[in-house]
Structure 1
């Protein structure tokens, strides 16, 4: 197998990274992908940095050894914040793309100059996020909210028998956390832009929009990640050149360390993939 024909690896603590995978497969129609959802150890945002670093290294090593990936997208804000600097040191030849809350794009979009940010506790507490926030200091006012339990509720919304309860929990948490942040809107001093600092949160965009109103802008990172992945592959001469695009089901293989039914339901709902595209991951990860 030539280097360019190898797949791109993508992983997250669970199903949230499917939102990034969706943008990747749209921007890179010739590429093949291997996605790993570490559901058995989710949510990362409520684990220690050490734990997240250990899981990140274990999954990276697995994707390299078992799937011979040519590039890696860390589709998890918490894992990016905790471990991507170590991955770059340990794998200097591997094109690596992480995700981070889209604060700079939000500054460009906001008209009131007041921006909300929702993310996991792990992301909000990280040194990487502190540096990112420092890089835009003075350019806007930021109200940051850690959303404990929200990523987990979104995960559980795909599990058989849990959808209704999880849906109620999601609505409750969204109302609780957005109310705690202050007033959203387009009047002076109000937050007119909300940064979704966790890839899971993209899957509740419609609920957030309904809650905050149509004039509040929601900003996520998937499209920017896809563009950066393409740039790195082009620079390394690793873009897959053909044949003609095949179906998403033929280009993507999804694995989970946790509940297979949940991944299958999420892949069907958000990517239109059949159950056969999803598999249980090797138990030794």
Structure 2
């Protein structure tokens, strides 16, 4: 078996990274996708950087042990805390990570004010600092940590009064400050895009980095000669979780994600 026929490995703390998987399937329908949700340790949002590096390394090893030819870190928190470190530790592995969509947001804002919604670790991370410094230009970038949203999404509570109230709490200060462009800086948050849009209003743009990340993954595979041949047949999707497989299968159905095999993962065993 050639390396090109191996799967693309994707990991996140939970189901959020499946928003990236969905874009990968649309862009690269011939590729096999192996998605790992680390539900045993979800959420990642408030964990210290050293712990996030250890969890990211364990997820990476699990995917590599199953033949992954590329690792997509489909988690903004893990990308902020561990992406540079992973590239040093696994120097032979092509990694693609999440970068908050500040560059297109700064280009598109009409008011000059951009809001970034993210987990506490992403908000405090050096990666976001670098992106803002490099790409914000003259735009004012307001950062809003959103603790609790990941847990709501993992519970499938997208349109409940408590979730909407939490969104109101996080969105109102940004909107009051004039933000007309909102960056969804966590891969979970696109699942709440309709609710965010309803609160923010139709004049506010929402930006999700998942399509750009999928395109970058495809470019990296092409550069390394690792794309699966076009016409090889539709790729298979496998979802793995360090938590409860029944709960994950229910979320996949509830969130209308591409169907696939659901398996249990133990990232502590080698």
1:256 to 229, 233, 241: 241
For the pair 1:179 / 2:172, whether they are aligned, the reply is: yes
Secondary structure of the structure 1 residue equivalent to 2:11: strand
Secondary structure of the structure 2 residue equivalent to 1:46: coil
Aligned-pair CA distance for 1:182: 3.8
Match of 2:5 in 1: 5
Moved more, 31-40 or 133-142: 133-142
Aligned-pair CA distance for 1:245: 3.5
TM-score after normalising by structure 2: 0.94
Contact kept in structure 2, 1:153 and 1:167, CA below 8 Å: no
For the pair 1:76 / 2:79, whether they are aligned, the reply is: no
Aligned mates of 1:171, 1:70 — CA distance in 2: 40
For the pair 1:194 / 2:179, whether they are aligned, the reply is: no
Distance 1:273 1:182, change over 3 A: closer
Match of 1:169 in 2: 162
Aligned mates of 1:174, 1:268 — CA distance in 2: 24
Contact kept in structure 2, 1:47 and 1:122, CA below 8 Å: yes
Match of 1:51 in 2: 51
The count of aligned residue pairs is 269
Aligned-pair CA distance for 1:152: 1.4
Contact kept in structure 2, 1:11 and 1:76, CA below 8 Å: yes
Match of 2:197 in 1: 209
Aligned-pair CA distance for 1:279: 1.3
Distance 1:283 1:244, change over 3 A: closer
Aligned mates of 1:27, 1:269 — CA distance in 2: 23
Aligned-pair CA distance for 1:270: 3.3
Match of 2:151 in 1: 152
Aligned-pair CA distance for 1:284: 3.1
TM-score after normalising by structure 1: 0.89
Aligned-pair CA distance for 1:112: 1.3
Structure 2: give runs of 5+ residues left out of the alignment.
none
Aligned mates of 2:258, 2:136 — CA distance in 1: 42
Aligned-pair CA distance for 1:18: 0.6
Task: Give the CA RMSD over aligned residues.
Answer: 1.7
Match of 2:222 in 1: 234
Contact kept in structure 2, 1:22 and 1:271, CA below 8 Å: no
Deviations 1:84-108 (A, max 9, x none): 1111112222111000210001111
Deviations 1:198-257 (A, max 9, x none): 0000000000011111111000111100110010000000000044432xxx61000011
Aligned mates of 2:160, 2:250 — CA distance in 1: 15
For the pair 1:278 / 2:266, whether they are aligned, the reply is: no
Aligned-pair CA distance for 1:272: 4.3
